[in-house]
A = this chain, B = another copy of it.
Amino acid sequence: MGKKLKELARLVTGEVIGKEEIVINGVGGADNAQSNQITFAQNEKFLKEAEQRAAAVIINQKLSQLEINIPVIVVDNPRLAFAKIAKEFISCPYYNSQISKQAVISPQADVGTNVSIHPGVVIAEGAKVADDVVLAPGVYVGTNVRIEAGSILHPNVVVEHDCQLGERVEVHPGTVIGAEGYGFETSEEGHVKVPQFGDVIVEDDVEIGANVTIDRAATGSTVIGRGTKMDNLIHIAHNVEIGPECLIIAQVGVAGSAKVEERVTLAGQTGVAGHLTIEDNVTVATNSVVTNDISAGSFVSGYPAHDHRAERRIKASRKKLPQMRSKMRKLEKEVAQLKEKLSKEEGI
């Protein structure tokens, strides 16, 4: 599985300084790479760590000016180059191109070629599992679900009926796609369930963390846009539309019918209220609560979420609140005294 350094450099259109013929057998961190592995360094500290142990190191132009005693690949963005090179060496641990006899596959399911289907997987009738898909142990694929080519579902992922996953989608363990949305109509008979007969569409190249929940739409589709990356324990309610290339960090919750447009970042534990729009390229800071539309390009925080710099000033002022109160009491006393003095003088 070894690759020559020059081959790896070609992959990331980088320039080799040093022995380009050496063979690399894997990737490692700057502080734990082995002597036949390549790593990367963004600053001198990590470069020195790398020099002590790695076979080669990926760096940027600036660091390449230094004296370095191992071969290097010079690129604009070492972390990106490292990410791409790592893909050459790291493969999905569930990839084995086999269909386990302990999997239960409906004869009415349509299963492609070169799939890896592990024990305990259940595929219901009408489901389509395309070529090269990996289904780890305990995965459930519901009736009429479609999973396109190259997607990887980690253990115990559940995809309920009629939902669609695009190509190269990766879903981490315990995540539930397509549970019924939360919709009830309250009447004298109690809370009556409003039927949730929509679905979930997860577009190509989406990655979803562990123990996430994405609810099916009441009608129509809940959508996760192409290339969006989601962390763990996130809640996406029914009819939410997340655009392409968004970053959604752990424990975020997005309420029903909210629309999150392109390249939006929602930082950890943030809440987004229902029926609003967060436009393109917005960043919402950690632990914010978005209660209104947010216009394109904004950086917001707080509850309700608003301009981040304004919120920072408010947070700074907030710390002075007890002092402000005592200052105010002092001012009130002083003003009262001034008034008294002045009225006495007038009285004279």
Contacts and interface: CB of A to CB of B under 8 A. Distances in A.
Interface in A240-277: 245, 247, 249-251, 253, 255, 268-269, 271, 273
Number of this chain's copies in the assembly equals 3
A94 B331 CA distance: 69
A158 interface: yes
A58 interface: no
Interface in A134-186: 136-138, 140, 142-143, 154-156, 158, 160-161, 172-174, 176, 179-180, 182, 184-185
A191 interface: yes
A229 B122 contact: no
A279 interface: no
Interface string A282-320: 000011010000000000000110100010011111111
A233 B235 contact: yes
Interface string A57-87: 0000000000000000000010110111011
Nearest to A122: B137
Given A271-B287, A338-B335, A339-B334, A197 B158 contact: no
Contacts of A237: 231, 250
Interface stretch (A3-11, A16-24, A109-117, A322-330): A322-330
A130 interface: no
Interface in A16-71: 27-29, 31-32
A16 B4 CA distance: 76
Q: What is the size category of the interface that chain A forms with chain B?
A: 35 or more
A221 B114 CA distance: 33
A331 to B, nearest CB: 6
Interface of A: 27-29, 31-32, 77, 79-80, 82-84, 86-87, 90, 93, 100, 102, 104, 118-120, 122, 124, 136-138, 140, 142-143, 154-156, 158, 160-161, 172-174, 176, 179-180, 182, 184-185, 187, 190-195, 197-198, 205, 207, 209-213, 215, 218-220, 227, 229, 231-233, 235, 237, 245, 247, 249-251, 253, 255, 268-269, 271, 273, 286-287, 289, 303-304, 306, 310, 313-322, 324-325, 327-328, 331-332, 334-335, 338-339, 341-342, 345
